[in-house]
Structure 1
């Protein structure tokens, strides 16, 4: 692998002056949370060894002997996640995204599919499904399916990625596949990654039957974290003011929680209903740089609440801390925020991010997407890996159009970015679209696996 294929974290200096491998190896004065995050960001066998050396093997149950008892949907995570006091699902704290390119010429063979499936089944046998074990998905891009003469069925809406606003110019991810690894335990995502890449022969006492090293080459590696205290532990990066303003109760860099249960689509809603990929979904991935100097240094708390939620939330002082007091809903419909977005933009000069996004709904008022995103310090800058699941990529485009709020900017005092939600604080660097097949077709699928 040449240096252009390695992540920014992997190219850090070996001496570990700012949290590189040497610092992880000896602890470097890092807290337990800081150490775990740093190990995931660096990756590789040395980081895994250091993580296990400091924290020991986590007490993680193995997976079931009978893998047919697992859900047919790859994206069926919710029933295996912890919940908070309000019934919101609690996201796994540590993440790795592996973007992969198929090594072979032409189309994959049945033997290669069997090898890939054995590799994925090894992960499922090694770790119980859940945030206290391992959750993962495997997706494939439009570019992957273009190697076949046959097209994807009409039941699958998988578009090539593109810029979705006049003010963005992202690089487009056309890698063949993406693997998303998630766990509350840093050592679990590291070990699972190493096993897939052919660097571990045993996981959690379970033999690894196969790996992906002969099938794929790694094109990119992205890492991150989500959860109370993790952003505060990692704010000494570009994009965060020197005052280090992120509070200890914030699960994300912008200081507020997301993923309220009533503001997320159900897993049923995002599932493809018909055709050979019924039981699957689509996966959108955006790499976003955060620029939060003004957010924290110039905007007041009231302004941040207005821009993240809705002006009503600021005027009525509805949000305490990171917003846990809101319960299982961001209180958009309850406060009439989506219906009054244009009026607020015109009369108050600000419209909220959640307020705009809530305008993209089914006829019954249900959201169109599930968010499974997380923060990152890849490249030593504050970032967000925005991961969303939706039945069709068109559902993501519709939601993004609502979030852009260009209609509001044209007819109000709100500029295209300024005071238009949180657009001015985010820069989309990369975007990719992928199909997440059902588990039975997750291993190098053809466009019509039934044939």
Structure 2
């Protein structure tokens, strides 16, 4: 489905602020905006028609003229701990499932309605006597480079809410908290109240125009504003269709959690004064893509004209040569070295943020195993390339100097039938979700 409205939305700064603040007052303010819809499509009466995979979003997203999926513009991540000690009860499991069914009946499962997932950490599964099966690679989060020292996130669970409409993610969050009796005309009969305790809340946005409208934060210079056509703070498009793993590629194929995936969530602090005030346009292109893109002037504006691929071609294979002769390698050039059967390993669903009045990237990726993320991150680190850089020259190593990893967490995102407080061995008590 092609979206007709991504370029016509207006006054989105208030919507972004409302999503960031949260709560009933923010929801009311958001609903008063002229660019928020009066009517949002409802979900189906028969919930069994919904996909079995929680992460199967692509068919429900808008696309651009090149077939790239357009990410939902407004996001909320809610980090929870289970409110009781020990293994969850069947009663709590039923309550959580019914709370999700309320969201699914209230809103169409689409960018114009609501997309949501529920994932669980290694800490959550540690409460059980049994271990996760070998078919699931869910390891504890860790620093993945000598220059990293992130805080490690270990909440029990994370809810990800996404929509093109800020009022929708806010209303869904309020319903889960037990603050609404009715959601888009649907009675709210079950909530997370008493089952989960919120430990953190993160918000953000992605899409053309939104970073430019929300750049009045530290670490984004006033003198060189973010380009109007940029969907992300660093000024370039990402998420090209050919540079994303498919949903099938990131799906766990065997075992009781077949149909699920793993989710990695990092909070990245962006420092963009040098990026915009000192680096030239060619330097930014070379740093984000590869030196050849800058030399051949391949990137217009934010890169929308590249179509459905960043067009790296042989750039990844030439990373070592570029390090030796140019003293520079690109971020995309390095990351593209981590492929299997010529397919990327990660499906990115990340977004920018103004949380804490800072320029932030919530880097959310889906992959079949956490090991796939580790491999991709190590390729992006480019430690091997730094060792082969031109003699006496410091390697311009992609975007590493502009990004600081402040937090990281790993999670299992089960199939939809197991989203409500799963056990590590769920075959015997598989939760119905129809």
Verify same fold: TM over 0.5: yes
In the TM superposition, what is the alpha-carbon distance from 1:245 to its structure 2 partner? 1.6
In the TM superposition, what is the alpha-carbon distance from 1:303 to its structure 2 partner? 0.2
Which among 131, 151, 156 is matched to residue 136 of structure 2? 156
Deviation string 1:266-295 (CA, Å, 9 cap, x unpaired) is 000000000110000000000000000110
Which residue of the partner structure matches residue 14 of structure 2? Answer: 35
2:317 is the alignment partner of 1:342: no
Instruction: Please list every run of 5 or more consecutive structure 2 residues that lacks an aligned counterpart in the other structure.
Output: 1-9, 429-434
Which residue of the partner structure matches residue 20 of structure 1? Answer: none
2:125 is the alignment partner of 1:145: yes
Residues 204-243 of structure 1 correspond to what in structure 2 (within 5 A)?
A: 204-243=184-223
2:271 is the alignment partner of 1:291: yes
SS at match of 2:397: coil
Which among 160, 178, 203 is matched to residue 180 of structure 1? 160
Distance 1:102 1:416 in 2: 51
In the TM superposition, what is the alpha-carbon distance from 1:415 to its structure 2 partner? 9.9
In the TM superposition, what is the alpha-carbon distance from 1:418 to its structure 2 partner? 5.2
Which residue of the partner structure matches residue 433 of structure 1? Answer: 410
In the TM superposition, what is the alpha-carbon distance from 1:411 to its structure 2 partner? 1.5
Distance 1:59 1:191 in 2: 13
Going from structure 1 to structure 2, the CA distance change for 1:419 and 1:114 (only over 3 Å counts) comes to: same
In the TM superposition, what is the alpha-carbon distance from 1:242 to its structure 2 partner? 2.2
Distance 2:244 2:19 in 1: 27
Which among 317, 320, 336 is matched to residue 300 of structure 2? 320
SS at match of 2:99: helix
Native 8 Å contact 2:224 2:277 kept in 1: no
2:425 is the alignment partner of 1:448: yes
In the superposition, the TM-score normalised over structure 1's length comes to 0.91
2:16 is the alignment partner of 1:50: no
Distance 2:215 2:330 in 1: 25
In the TM superposition, what is the alpha-carbon distance from 1:306 to its structure 2 partner? 0.1
Which among 347, 358, 361 is matched to residue 370 of structure 1? 347
2:157 is the alignment partner of 1:200: no
Deviation string 1:240-268 (CA, Å, 9 cap, x unpaired) is 11214201100000000000000000000
2:37 is the alignment partner of 1:60: no
Distance 1:218 1:415 in 2: 51
Which residue of the partner structure matches residue 74 of structure 2? Answer: 94
In the TM superposition, what is the alpha-carbon distance from 1:213 to its structure 2 partner? 1.2
SS at match of 2:396: coil
Which among 171, 175, 187 is matched to residue 191 of structure 1? 171
Distance 2:329 2:162 in 1: 33
Residues 255-404 of structure 1 correspond to what in structure 2 (within 5 A)?
A: 255-333=235-313, 336-362=314-340, 364-404=341-381
In the superposition, the TM-score normalised over structure 2's length comes to 0.95
Distance 1:344 1:438 in 2: 42
SS at match of 2:197: strand
Going from structure 1 to structure 2, the CA distance change for 1:416 and 1:45 (only over 3 Å counts) comes to: farther
Distance 1:341 1:298 in 2: 24
Paired positions, count: 418
2:90 is the alignment partner of 1:110: yes
Which residue of the partner structure matches residue 99 of structure 2? Answer: 119
Native 8 Å contact 1:253 1:375 kept in 2: yes
Which residue of the partner structure matches residue 385 of structure 2? Answer: 408
SS at match of 1:62: coil
In the TM superposition, what is the alpha-carbon distance from 1:54 to its structure 2 partner? 2.8
SS at match of 2:33: helix
Native 8 Å contact 1:406 1:416 kept in 2: no
Distance 2:224 2:46 in 1: 48
